[in-house]
Structure 1
C-alpha cells in the first residue's frame, strides 16, 4: 500500500512536533511504502535537517509555512473575478459563523477553561454537536465551495500567494464584516484587525497553492494520512477533492483547541479572535466531514472532535505508542526505590502547578518528617525560568534549613534537578529514584509522564485533568486540581502503605504495556489502513513500462454499497407464491498489503 503521510512542523525534520510518533509508525509498517509531504514552520527547522529515513520512504516533498515568496503569478481579469467571488464567499461564511453559534458571537470554546472540560460538560455524550460547532449544513457547504474554489483557481491559474495578500482580500473581509447581519464582534473590526485576519488566513491557506495534488504526488497514494488537523489536513482534503484519495486524520492534540489556547483575550483583539475562531471551526468541521476515519489518543480529545462536528461512527481511539524498553529495568525492580521519596518529572511551567505541589509537600512533611521531594525538569523560555525561580524561592521559604531532624543544615528536603546528572542520568533513573510519582497539573492533554511512570511500575498520585483518569484506569490515586490538602493526603496514604504501592505499581505497569506501547499503536494503524482502503475504490489506471494498462493491478474492493439481504416482502393476500429476486453477494478478497 502506498501512504501519503502529511506532517506540519514535524517528521522528517530533526526538531518539531509528533516526530518520534511518525518515525515509529513509518519504521513499524515496513510492508507499506510511505511518501512524506512535510510543511516546515521555520528556517531553523529546515536548517536542522532530517532524521535518517528508512528504506520504505519513497520520496520527501517539503514546503515552508513560515514564508511565502512571491511566485510571480499575475492573474488576469477572469482569474481575479474568480478569486474575489471565492474569497468573498469564504469571508462571508467566516463573518456569519459566530452568528449561528448558539453560545453567542465571539465565544471561542475553551478560553474560559484552558482544559476545555467546562465547555464540554453540557454536551456530554449526546452527540448533539453538528449545529453548535460547525454551523448549519448550508454554511458548511458554502465554506467547502469557497475553499475548493480557491484550490481549483490555484491549480488552473497558478499560486495564490499574491492574491491572498492583496488589497482585494482585505476589502472582501471588510465588506463581509460590514454586511447586514454580521455579528457585533465582526462589525467592530478596524483596519489593523482586518490586516491581521487576512495575514493569518494567507498563512493557513498556503497549502492551496502547492503542486502536490497531481498523479505524481498525493494523487498516486492509496491513502493520505495527515498527522494533525487544520492546515496540516488541507493537503489531504485537496487530494481527496482532486483525486479521490481517502483521508485519515490523526489528532493527538486537537487543532481547534490549540488555536483557542494560543489566541487568548490578553494577546488578541476581540474582532481578530472572533473571526479566526470562526474560520478554524469551519475548517475543522470540513476536515471531520470529509475524513474516512479520524483518530484521537484519548476520550478528552474525542469529545472535542465530536464537538467540532466529527461523526462518532468514524472516530477511532488509538493511544500514542511509547517505547517501553528504556523503562524495563526500573519496572522489573520497583523495590529498589527510596520508600520515602516523591518524584515529579516534566516541563516546568505554570500549568504544571508546582506551587500547589510544594504546599502539599509541606503538609506531607508535617506527617512524614523523613519524606523528600525530587523535582526533575527543565524550564524553556524566560517565563518558565521566572516560574522556576519563584518555585525555588517558595521551597526555600517553606523548608528552611534545620539543624534538627533527619536532615542536616543545607540539606533541603526539596531538590530541583535536571536529567542527565550523576544521580539521574536517564529518564528511567529519575522515576526509579522514588516510590511515588506525582502529577500536579491544572491543564493536561495526555499525561506522558504518567505513562512513563506506569512503565516503571510506580504508584502515582495525579490531579483530575485532561486524560489522566483514562490513562491510569484505577491504578493510581486521583485528586482535584489546585487542592494541596487532597494531594498531600493521597501522597501520605501511599507512603505509609508499601503493599498498596506495590499492588498499584504492578497494575499500572501491566496496563501501560497493554495500551500504550509502540506495538499496539502500529497494529491499530495497520488495521485502519486496510479498513479504509477496502471501503474506497481505486479510481486510477495503472500502466506497465510500455504504457499499457495492467489488469488486476489493484485489489478487488471488499465493500459493496447497499444491503446484503432484501427487505421483507409486505403481506399479500392468498394467491400463487412468487419468489422475490435475491441479492447476489459478490465475492471479495482482502486488499493487498504491498504493491
Structure 2
C-alpha cells in the first residue's frame, strides 16, 4: 500500500526528535511505499540536509513553517522539492467574492478560538455568552472556519497575505471583545493581535500548500501523521478532500508540549491564551477525524482522551528502541561501579540536576566512597550552557574540599563527562559506568534514557513524572520529583544491596525486551496499516498486469461466487454451470459497477 507519512520538524531532516523513529518505521516496513510530506522548523534544520532515504520512499515534498514572507516560501529547500504556495507565484489579491468567503470563514474560526478557553466565571451574560459556552457549537465554528479557509486556499490561492491583513486583525479584535470570551483574551491589544495573526499564519501554513491533488495526498491509501498539530493538518485535508483515512501517532502530545513551551516564552498573556485555545481546538479536531490514534504511552493517552479522543480509537503503541547495542552489557553479569551513580541525558533545567546534586550530597555523607557521573551534553542554546555552568558551580560549592573535574573521574566525587571521550566512548559504556542509573527529571514524556538503562540490565532510581511508572513497571525505585532526600534514600538503598540491584536489573531488562524493542513497534504498525486499509475503500486503479496486482486493489465481494453481475456486464455468460467471466477475472463489476477496483 502507499503511505503518506506526515512529519513536522523531523524526518527526513538530519535533526529532529521523530527522525529515528520514522526512519526505523520506513525501513522496517519495506513492503509498503512511502510518500513523505515534511514541514521544517528552522533554516538551520534545512541547512543540515536529509538523512539517506531508503528506496521505498518514492516521493518527498517539504515546506518550511518558519518563513514569514509568502514570496520566499519554497526558496530554502534542498533538492528543489519544496512545494509552491497556491498563489500563482506571488501574493494573491482576492476578488470581492473571495474576500467575502474569507471574512465568513475567518470570523467563524476567530470566534471559536476566542471563546473556547473561557471558563464559566469569565463569560459575560446574554445569548452570545450562552452560545459560546456550548463546546459543541464552538467546535462546529472551528471546523466550519478551518475547512472553509482550506477550500478557499485550494480554489483561489494561499492564505498568508489574507491572514496578516488588516481585515483579519479587525476580525480578531471583534471576536476578542465579543461577549462570552475570557477576560484574558478581552485584554488583547493591537500588538497582541498582530503577534497572534503572525503565529496563526505559521500554524495554518499547511492549508496553503499545493499538496492537495490526485497526484499528491490524493494518491495515498493512508495518511500517517508522526505527530499531532501542524503535521496532522495535511491529513485532515486529505480526508476532507479525498476520503483518505488518518492515523495519528504521538509519542509526546503536541498540545502538552505547546503548553510547556508557552510558559517560558516572552509573549503576552492574551497571545498565550489565544494560542492555547487554537491548539486545543486543532487537537480536538485531529482526534475526532483520526481513524486511529496511537500514543506512545498511557501518560500521553490520558492527555489525548482529555482533549476529546474517543477511548475506542486510542491504542497505546510503545516507541521501538534499538536494543542490539546494549546486548553485550545487558547479558553480562558485571555491576559496573558498585559505588557509582550514573545520570545520562541532555543537560537542561527540566532534568533537575540541581536536586540530584543535593541528593548526592546526602549520599556522600552516608557513603564516603560514592561517586556521581553526569554524562551528557548541554542542550542547544544559551539556556543549556548556562544551566550546565550553574550545575558545575553548585557541585564546587557542595564539595569544596574535593576537586570536581569536568572530564576525568579519578578521586572526584562528581564528574561532568561527554559521550565519545576516552572514559565513555559510546552510550553503552555510559550505562556501564555505574551500578545505579538515576533519573531526576521534573518534566518527562517517554523516558528514553530509562529504557536504555533497562536494556543494559541496570537498577534504576527515578522520579515519578510522565510515563516513568508505566515504563518501570515495578522493576526500579520511584520517588516524588523535587525531593532530594527521597532520591538520596532510594539511591542508598540500592548502593547498599547488590543482590537487590541484580534482581531489579534483570527484571528491567526482561521488561524492556518484551515491550520496547523496534521489532514489537514494527509488528504493531504492520498490523495497524492492514487493519485500517481493510476498512477503507481503494480509490486507485490496480497496477498494470506486468507488475502484478497490489494488495486490496480488488473488492473482497468480487471473490464471492454467485450470479449477481450488473445488467450488461457480461453479454456471454457461457454455458450453464460455468462461472461468468467477470467473476473469474475478479475485478471491477461488483456492487460498485466500476472497473478500477473501487469499493
TM-score (norm 1): 0.84
List aligned pairs for 1:54-453, cutoff 5 A: 54-67=54-67, 68-70=69-71, 71-99=90-118, 101=119, 136-264=135-263, 267-380=266-379, 381-401=381-401, 411-453=411-453
Q: Which moved more, 1:175-184 or 1:503-512?
A: 175-184
**Partners of 2:309 and 2:212 in 1: CA distance:** 25
Cα pair 2:122 2:181 within 8 Å, conserved: no
SS of 1:250's equivalent in the other structure is strand
Moved more, 181-190 or 316-325: 181-190
CA contact (8 A) 2:540 2:553 kept: no
> How much has 1:538 moved relative to structure 2?
2.4
Output the CA distance in 1 between the equivalents of 2:340 and 2:543: 66
Q: Would the alpha carbon gap of residues 509 and 169 (structure 1) be closer, same or farther in structure 2, given more than 3 Å must change? A: same
Structure 2 residue aligned with 1:110: none
Distance 2:557 2:9 in 1: 35
- Distance in 2 (CA, whole Å) between partners of 1:552 and 1:20 is 30
Q: Rate the CA distance shift 1:531–1:147 in 2: closer, same or farther, 3 A.
A: same
Q: Distance in 2 between matches of 1:358 and 1:44?
A: 34
The answer on whether the counterparts of 2:538 and 2:553 sit within 8 Å (CA) in structure 1 is no
Cα displacement string for residues 129-160 of structure 1 (whole angstroms, at most 9, x for unaligned residues): xxxx9962222122111111111111111111
Number of aligned residue pairs: 526
Query: Matched residues in 2 for 1:244 and 1:34: separation?
Result: 18
Give the Cα–Cα distance (whole angstroms) in 2 for the partners of residues 553 and 501 of structure 1.
55
- Any conservation in 1 of the 2:122–2:182 contact (CA below 8 Å)? no
Shift of 1:174: 0.9
CA–CA distance in structure 2, aligned partners of residues 299 and 552 of structure 1: 33
Q: CA deviation at 1:551?
A: 13
User: Are residues 176 and 134 of structure 1, via their aligned partners in 2, closer, same or farther at CA, if it must alter by over 3 Å?
Assistant: closer
Aligned-pair distance for 1:266? 6.4
Judge which range, 431-440 or 390-399, deviates more. 390-399
Q: Give the secondary structure class of the aligned counterpart of 2:376.
A: strand
Shift of 1:366: 1.8
Tell me: higher relative CO, structure 1 or 2? Use CA pairs within 8 A at least 6 residues apart.
Answer: 1
- RMSD of aligned Cα (Å): 2.6
For residues 315 and 191 of structure 1, what CA distance do their matches in structure 2 show? 41
Query: d(CA) in 1 for partners of 2:61 and 2:252?
Result: 24
TM-score (norm 2): 0.84
Between the aligned partners of 2:523 and 2:134, the Cα distance in structure 1 is 36
Q: 1:139 to 1:421 in 2, by over 3 A?
A: same
What's the CA shift string for 1:423-461, capped at 9, x where partnerless? 110010010011100111111111111000001000001
What's the secondary structure of 2:416's corresponding residue? strand
Contact 2:330/2:457, CA 8 A, preserved across alignment: yes
Match of 1:51, SS?
A: coil
* Distance (Å, rounded) in 2 between the aligned partners of 1:341 and 1:2: 50
Residue 224 of structure 1: CA displacement? 0.2
After the TM superposition, list the runs of 4 or more consecutive aligned residues in structure 1 that deviate by more than 4 angstroms.
101-105, 540-546, 549-552
Query: Residue 406 of structure 1 aligns with which residue?
Result: none
Whether contact under 8 Å (2:36, 2:61) holds in the other structure is yes
Please state how far the C-alpha of 1:179 moved relative to its aligned partner.
2.2
How far apart, CA to CA, are the structure 2 residues paired with 1:222 and 1:25?
Answer: 17
* Aligned-pair CA distance for 1:268: 2.5
**Contact 2:236-2:286 within 8 A present in 1 as well:** yes
1:28 and 2:28 matched: yes
| CA–CA distance in structure 2, aligned partners of residues 266 and 226 of structure 1 | 27
Distance change in 2, residues 1:545/1:134 (3 Å)? farther
Residues 431 and 222 from structure 1, CA distance in 2 versus in 1: closer, same or farther, beyond 3 angstroms?
Answer: same
Tell me, yes or no, if the aligned pair for 1:340 and 1:370 is still in contact at 8 Å.
yes
Q: Which residue of 2 aligns with 1:537?
A: 537
